[in-house]
Amino acid sequence: MAGNRDYINRRIHSLLGVLPIGLFLIQHLTVNFFATRGPVAFNAAAHFMESLPYRYVLELFIIFLPILFHGIYGVYIAFTAKHNVSNYGYFRNWMFMLQRYTGVITLIFIAWHVWETRIAIGLGWVDLNYQLMENILTNPFFFWFYVVGVVSTTFHFANGLWSFFVSWGITMTPRSQRIMTYVSIIVFLAVSYVGVRTLFTFAYGI
Amino acid sequence: MSEEKKITLIIERQDSPESAPYEETFEVPYRENMNVISALMEIRRNPVNAKGEATTPVFWDMNCLEEVCGACSMIINGKARQSCTALVDQLEQPIRLAPMSTFPITRDLAVDRSRMFDSLKRVKAWVPIDGTYDLGPGPRMAESKRQWAYELSKCMTCGVCLEACPNVNSKSDFIGPAAISQVRLFNSHPTGEMNKSERLETVMGDGGIMGCGNAQNCVQSCPKGIPLTTSLAAIYRDTAIESFKSFFGSDNKL
């Protein structure tokens, strides 16, 4: 392929953020949302996901490898920027900075979340069920840690979707980019609602 | 006349490329319709700082004085812009001047913008027409295309977009929006288009289009109002297509 390694890495980074990571995020939050229908519904949905065929292959290629690449390369991108919102306080410049900040927060959150759930389950320390998340989220510190983590993730996804549309040359004109900004705000609010609503169910049973 | 109105300038100065920067405050008599350059000229005429000490005149770069040459860019009250069109009446006092930090400083407010001209050479920002014989008239350009291409040709390589860009810095090799926009300009020209792939391949390399992070400060800051973010998105699109053509093959690759 034309272009050097940096170019190809950036293209892969941009693509992976939406496909498959963005899709996985929506799927993950949707399955979790079953919790609002009660522990039985959540356990059934979680068990269905857990018993998918060739599950380790799916996890490896749809979740772990893409997130590792996107996360590690993303940290490198985040640290090559020199933020200047104090002098150039434009909306997009703020979004540019927040995209990098939320990326780092999200990576820390996901690392902790995967350790506490998927790895702990894999090592047989805990079982995948409603109880697991209820135990974590009834602790106020971890409840707010999860709220920040989830909102940071949904922001990073929604704003990343906006830059994805620019980076692949779909939205070129200022008008299309502005409309995509509105779309990304709606995506952010909708996906955040799904994520945070579930957290409230686990924490307060509402 | 009892009290003469004065304006205060706080200038970040530097005696040589290697020496340490320092601040010096100046007070110059106010005249109507002053711009930053006329204030600097006043300091040059009478190089005495606000403490009344004799000092060296402040050095800066300028040429056309009508915002078409790009030489007099500097940071005025925090934002990079041309000092010729920075009208004193419209500026907050005291006026703070500093050289653009993205570029090597030659002296005081003057910077060396060579990297921008090197980038233009790298991306072949011209239409190659030289040959060993007369190539004849080139293909015609649609008027509608010429109109938007003309906007891109207004770039004066002033460096303001590079200074405003958070991704143009010492940690990154991004060449900046100006040269990328010129790739779009020369790729839109019917003759320049014959080197389209070559230009795109260049910006698919080190410091190219992928350095852009869509912070969009460039389009907000450009003194010529060039649609830089549209150009960047156009090159994002063209390089994506170029990648496919190059990998999967195409007869339309130029």
Q: Delimit the domains of chain A by residue range.
A: 5-204
Residues of B152-186 as b/e, b for ≥16 C-beta within 10 angstroms?
Answer: beebbbbbbbbbbbbbbbeebebbbbbbbbbbbbb
Of B76, B111, B146, which closes a domain?
A: B111
Q: What is the CATH number of the domain that holds B204?
A: 1.10.1060.10
In this prediction, the residues of chain B whose per-residue pLDDT falls under 50 are: none
Interface of A with B in 110-149 (CB under 8 A): none
Q: What's the ipTM?
A: 0.93
B97 shares a domain with B12: yes
Last residue of a domain, one of B111, B129, B164: B111
Tokens at B125, concatenated: 């920002």
Query: Which of B111, B140, B157 lies at the terminal end of a domain, its last residue?
Result: B111
Q: Is residue B1 one of the residues assigned to a domain?
A: no
Residue A27 has pLDDT above 70, yes or no: yes
Whether residue A79 and residue B239 make contact (CB cut-off 8 A), yes or no, is no
pLDDT given at position A2 = 55
- Are B231 and B189 found together in one domain? yes
Q: Are A107 and A71 in contact (CB under 8 A)?
A: yes
Alpha-carbon distance of B45 to B205, in angstroms, equals 48
Q: Are A67 and A110 in contact (CB under 8 A)?
A: yes
- Does residue B44 belong to any structural domain of this protein? yes
- Are A83 and B166 an interchain contact pair (Cβ–Cβ within 8 Å)? yes
**Cβ atoms A35, A134 nearer than 8 A:** no
Cβ–Cβ pairs < 8 A, chains A and B = 114
Q: Does A1 touch chain B (CB under 8 A)?
A: yes
In a domain, residue B85? The reply is yes
- Domain of residue B82 covers 6-111
Do residue B118 and residue B222 come from a single domain? yes
B120 and B216 both lie in a single domain: yes
- Kindly report the CATH number assigned to the domain that includes residue B87: 3.10.20.30
Q: Are residues B68 and B132 in the same domain?
A: no
Tell whether B204 and B166 lie within a shared domain.
yes
- Give the bridge partners for B82, in sequence order: B73
Residue B85's CB: how many other CB atoms inside 10 A?
15
The residue in chain B having the minimum alpha-carbon distance to the alpha carbon of residue A93 is B215
Reported as a single tens digit per residue, the pLDDT across A44-89 is: 999 999 999 999 999 999 999 999 999 999 999 999 999 999 999 9
- CATH topology for the A5-204 domain: 3 helical TM bundles of succinate and fumarate reductases (1.20.1300)
Does residue B21 lie in a domain region?
Answer: yes
* Number of domains within chain B: 2
Q: Which of B217, B231, B235 to mutate to test the interface with A (most CBs of A within 10 A)?
A: B217
Mean pLDDT score, A116-140: 94
DSSP code of residue A104: H
State whether B128 and B233 are in the same domain: yes
Q: Would you state the pLDDT for residue B240? A: 95
Q: Are residues B78 and B147 in the same domain?
A: no
Question: Residue A34: its pLDDT value, please?
Answer: 97
Write the single-letter amino acid at B133: Y
- CA-nearest residue to B248 within chain A is A1
- On whether both B123 and B242 belong to a single domain, the answer is yes
By CB atoms closer than 10 A (0-12, 13-18, 19+), residue B141 is: middle
Q: How far is A189 from chain B (nearest CA, A)?
A: 22
* Predicted local distance difference test score (pLDDT) of residue A10: 95
Q: pLDDT tens-digit profile of A162-203?
A: 999 999 999 999 999 999 999 999 999 999 999 999 999 999
pLDDT beyond 90 at A33: yes
Beta strands in chain B (DSSP E): 6-13, 22-29, 73-76, 79-82, 95-98, 105-107, 110-111
Mutate to test the interface with B, among A6, A15, A180, A184 (most CBs of B within 10 A): A6
Residues B27 and B99 in one domain: yes
- B119 plus B244 within the same structural domain: yes
Same domain, B83 and B149: no
* Model confidence at A122: pLDDT above 60: yes
Interface contact flag, A88 B238, Cβ < 8 Å: no
Task: Find the CB nearest B240 among A79, A83, A168.
Answer: A168
Does residue B66 belong to any structural domain of this protein? Answer: yes
